[in-house]
Chain A
């Protein structure tokens, strides 16, 4: 399969996250291969969004590592957030300097700059800015930001602005919003806002894009279009996709690799076909007893029932 040939882009090792006395994640290990579409599923409260927030730098993992292999760089996404200092760091000055630097200037923006973009479960657009401005802000790190050349409107600055407007236009075209370029983002219909948010995170030029429930609140037709869009992003824009989704139809349709989380632990991992037939997943979604009773007879009815119950 295609997914097996790609190198791992993201490798998560022994990731644990603890909020006070609550162990939200324990010993999470998985890889995301380059150029794949992966999905993370699990019942509510399983820790999917926590994993997302750890990957995109909004939470600092309690322990473990997240390595992001972009090009020939290998970035530890936990370290750039500014880890706590350990006593042994003081014996190793370069390490200490690195830690202090990240403590002062680190943060989730460095994760984004490394090439991890994300969207949010509840849409977070810049509502009082126009759609195209949303995309221009996303290109902030790639364009001419020199305030002096901006104030003087030098030719170089104008060229850079023109390029970024063209790029924003191209992305609006990809998501089918070119007629809404000069409308306020907050005024757009819900489905358009979802697509605009994807376009915005793609405008940062990421290697990995994390979509947090992209199909939430969309009707079946829009979900279909979204699946097409996600495939298009992967095929034409060389981006690796990781998504959280509750719409099982879409997950099974679009993803090549699925990670199932429950109670902060990975209970299953594999292709959609493996997951559909996994008794552990059934148990997590439907309860121990139910899975025992249906797992016994032939697998065809089992599978269809799982499909029915999950998508209901």
Chain B
């Protein structure tokens, strides 16, 4: 046994060595000799570096996949392949209570560190966190595949824009109105289609998402069609964040007598959004431990068993659909106010697919996983702006790798352990 392992390790080293030599032979002339004007320059460090990378890579692949010890380490690194659901232990670690306050403080101090550009990126990421949390209710908890989630996002965004345009409502009035409106749309879609299962439901929701976009596109007189509509910015007790206030109001910077900066608006949006996301996380966490959330999960596990326990599957599904739609609507309001302008091209099927990817990559039903996946999938493309053309390709690769290694998502789902009163002994 140990002999074989030693041989494998040696073989891995040899493999790496020969791969390095081969790489040196190939890359030596290609990248080692650079034509500059009429002279050839020696850049031998470059092929050496490439060869080193190839050699180390080959060694690691050989070692990690072909030897037993390597496989053990690999398993530790990426976790068990079929790691599913676990149950949390009843005893909490000492630092658990520290994690949340530290994260909240870090979140609140983020605007002090970031410039305007990165702040907008983080705002967008938080919007996707909201969307992910909302879709996670529908797909992850209730187990209904929804391919048209972007419809509720659009309803939220357009409710803000239309409310401002026709009824002269501000951000704060329209936030709850949009949430209710999106939930209403969720109920409207949900009631007739919730008797369907799986694939059929996915197709219907896909259709619904497209219908909403096409209606917004073609209802020229009301929504402005492809020309879009403008959405108002939030105000702080009536103080606006523009350079000059409309109709004799006082802008924020004049009231506090500080110099104008366009990033105040984004800082303010960020802070509201951060608070909303925190509340939403709390909300979703509590939902999971409420009869409603438990019924959703039970429905995902086995609908027939649910019915045999007296649970009305239609209303339970409807509540999940409405709750998810409501969160989507809130995210839409923030998207509209952050962009200041919306048009139907922001609400294509690709957005739905992206949100679904966030939920699937994060781990169906796992709140932490969804948050991590949303942050990664929105911030990473910004960091890798140079590779923007390959974004969708990267996406595909990430999806395939995830499905091979961690089919259940990034973060393992931990179920709550219940303290069943006094110990038996």
* B-side contacts of A168, CB under 8 Å: 418, 420
CB of B287 within 8 A of CB of A144, answer no
B257 interface hit (Cβ, 8 Å): no
Given contacts A109-B312, A126-B305, A165-B421, contact A147 B292 (CB under 8 A): yes
CB of B308 within 8 A of CB of A117, answer yes
A225 interface hit (Cβ, 8 Å): no
CA distance A204 to B311 in the complex (A): 10
CB of A128 within 8 A of CB of B304, answer no
A118 interface hit (Cβ, 8 Å): yes
CB of A182 within 8 A of CB of B90, answer yes
* A-side contacts of B90, CB under 8 Å: 182
- How far is the CB of B307 from the nearest CB of chain A, in Å? 5
Name A182's contact: one of B84, B287, B307, B417 (CB within 8 Å). Answer: B417
CB of A141 within 8 A of CB of B421, answer no
CB of B302 within 8 A of CB of A182, answer no
CB of B286 within 8 A of CB of A153, answer yes
CB of A145 within 8 A of CB of B305, answer no
Name A150's contact: one of B292, B298, B304, B313 (CB within 8 Å). Answer: B292
- How far is the CB of B363 from the nearest CB of chain A, in Å? 12
CA distance A58 to B308 in the complex (A): 8
* B-side contacts of A127, CB under 8 Å: 301-302
Given contacts A109-B307, A182-B90, contact A132 B418 (CB under 8 A): yes
Given contacts A136-B294, A140-B294, A165-B418, contact A109 B313 (CB under 8 A): yes
Given contacts A128-B301, A129-B301, A150-B286, contact A118 B421 (CB under 8 A): no
* A-side contacts of B401, CB under 8 Å: none
Name B301's contact: one of A126, A169, A179, A204 (CB within 8 Å). Answer: A126
CA distance A152 to B417 in the complex (A): 21
Given contacts A124-B302, A130-B87, A130-B415, contact A137 B295 (CB under 8 A): yes
Given contacts A107-B312, A130-B418, contact A120 B297 (CB under 8 A): no
Minimal Cβ-Cβ distance residue in A for B291: A145
CB of A126 within 8 A of CB of B312, answer no
- How far is the CB of B117 from the nearest CB of chain A, in Å? 36
CB of A140 within 8 A of CB of B291, answer yes
B424 interface hit (Cβ, 8 Å): yes
Name B307's contact: one of A107, A130, A145 (CB within 8 Å). Answer: A107
CB of A140 within 8 A of CB of B309, answer yes
* A-side contacts of B311, CB under 8 Å: 109, 112, 137, 140-141
CA distance A179 to B425 in the complex (A): 11
* B-side contacts of A56, CB under 8 Å: 308
CA distance A136 to B295 in the complex (A): 9
Interface residues of B in 288-337 (CB under 8 A from A): 290-292, 294-295, 297-298, 301-302, 304-314, 319
CA distance A145 to B287 in the complex (A): 11
A95 interface hit (Cβ, 8 Å): no
Given contacts A129-B297, A169-B421, contact A184 B415 (CB under 8 A): yes
Per-position 1/0 for B407-420, Cβ under 8 A of A: 00000000101111
Given contacts A140-B291, A140-B295, A144-B291, contact A182 B87 (CB under 8 A): yes
- How far is the CB of B369 from the nearest CB of chain A, in Å? 15
CA distance A153 to B282 in the complex (A): 11
Minimal Cβ-Cβ distance residue in B for A151: B286
Minimal Cβ-Cβ distance residue in A for B305: A124
Minimal Cβ-Cβ distance residue in B for A119: B308
CA distance A208 to B419 in the complex (A): 30
Minimal Cβ-Cβ distance residue in B for A132: B418
A34 interface hit (Cβ, 8 Å): no
Given contacts A129-B301, A130-B418, contact A200 B291 (CB under 8 A): no
CA distance A192 to B96 in the complex (A): 34
B283 interface hit (Cβ, 8 Å): yes
* B-side contacts of A175, CB under 8 Å: none
CB of B309 within 8 A of CB of A112, answer yes
Given contacts A141-B310, A204-B309, contact A151 B415 (CB under 8 A): no
* B-side contacts of A118, CB under 8 Å: 308
* B-side contacts of A130, CB under 8 Å: 87, 415, 417-418
CA distance A138 to B314 in the complex (A): 17
CB of B304 within 8 A of CB of A133, answer no
A65 interface hit (Cβ, 8 Å): no
* A-side contacts of B302, CB under 8 Å: 124-127
Known interface pairs A124-B302, A128-B85, A130-B417; 11 further A-B residue pairs with C-beta atoms within 8 A, sorted by A's residue number: A109-B307, A125-B301, A129-B301, A137-B311, A145-B292, A150-B290, A151-B283, A151-B287, A165-B419, A168-B418, A204-B309
Which residue numbers of A lie inside 8 Å of B, CB to CB? Answer: 56-58, 105, 107-110, 112-113, 117-118, 120, 124-130, 132-134, 136-138, 140-141, 143-145, 147, 150-151, 153, 165-166, 168-169, 172, 178-179, 181-184, 200-201, 204
What are 9 A-B pairs at a CB distance below 8 A? A107-B314, A126-B298, A126-B305, A128-B85, A136-B291, A140-B311, A147-B290, A178-B420, A182-B87
Which residue numbers of B lie inside 8 Å of A, CB to CB? Answer: 84-85, 87, 90, 283, 286-287, 290-292, 294-295, 297-298, 301-302, 304-314, 319, 415, 417-421, 424
